[in-house]
């Protein structure tokens, strides 16, 4: 099969993928007080990887990213579930979230919340699930 000439796509992707990945992390972090969060952060992350898939082919990416996406999804949900259990250990109801301010080096006084851990789980779950679906449909042709 003759490969289409996609120089522009390849060049743009190299830059764009980095930007999208950065933006997805930004979306994820801003989720606590502003629009954003684990779900759309994860989806944006997936979008970047999907773009790489489209441009460079699934096999190339598979060689570089060796993680099993199903396991990623499972670990994500596991983290979310365990944060819920963590609340139980402290005698609070399931899924109880707490927050407090911690003095971190470099960042100064930062408010940390256990909800962030939950969100990390959500993001991983979304990334894992979406990529599993995309690779399993796109793999064989």
**Long-range residue pairs from 13-21, CB within 8 A, at least 24 positions apart, any chain:** 13/51, 13/52, 13/55, 13/56, 16/48, 16/51, 17/48, 17/51, 17/52, 20/44, 20/45, 20/47, 20/48, 20/51, 21/45, 21/48
User: Does the footprint of another protein cover residue 117 (CB under 8 A)?
Assistant: no
Among 7, 15, 107, 137, binds another protein (CB under 8 A): 137
Q: Residue 90 is encoded by which pair of tokens?
A: 């402290």
The mark string for 64-103 relative to another protein (x by CB under 8 A, - otherwise) is ----x-xx-xxx-xx--xx-xx-xx---xxxxxx------
**For another protein, which is the closer residue by CB, 52 or 72?**
72
Binding site for another protein (CB under 8 A): 39, 68, 70-71, 73-75, 77-78, 81-82, 84-85, 87-88, 92-97, 129, 133, 136-137
């Amino acid at each position: 099969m003759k490969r289409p000439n996609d120089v522009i796509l390849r060049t743009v992707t190299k830059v764009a993928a980095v930007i999208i990945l950065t933006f997805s992390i930004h979306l994820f972090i801003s989720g606590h007080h502003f629009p954003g969060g684990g779900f759309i952060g994860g989806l944006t992350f997936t979008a970047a990887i999907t773009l790489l898939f489209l441009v460079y082919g699934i096999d190339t990416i598979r060689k570089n990213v060796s993680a099993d996406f199903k396991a990623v999804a499972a670990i994500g949900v596991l983290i979310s579930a365990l944060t819920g259990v963590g609340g139980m250990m402290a005698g609070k109801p399931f899924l109880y979230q707490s927050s407090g301010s911690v003095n971190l080096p470099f960042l100064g006084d930062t408010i940390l919340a256990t909800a962030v851990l939950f969100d990390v789980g959500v993001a991983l779950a979304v990334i894992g699930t979406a990529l599993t679906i995309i690779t399993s449909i796109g793999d064989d042709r």
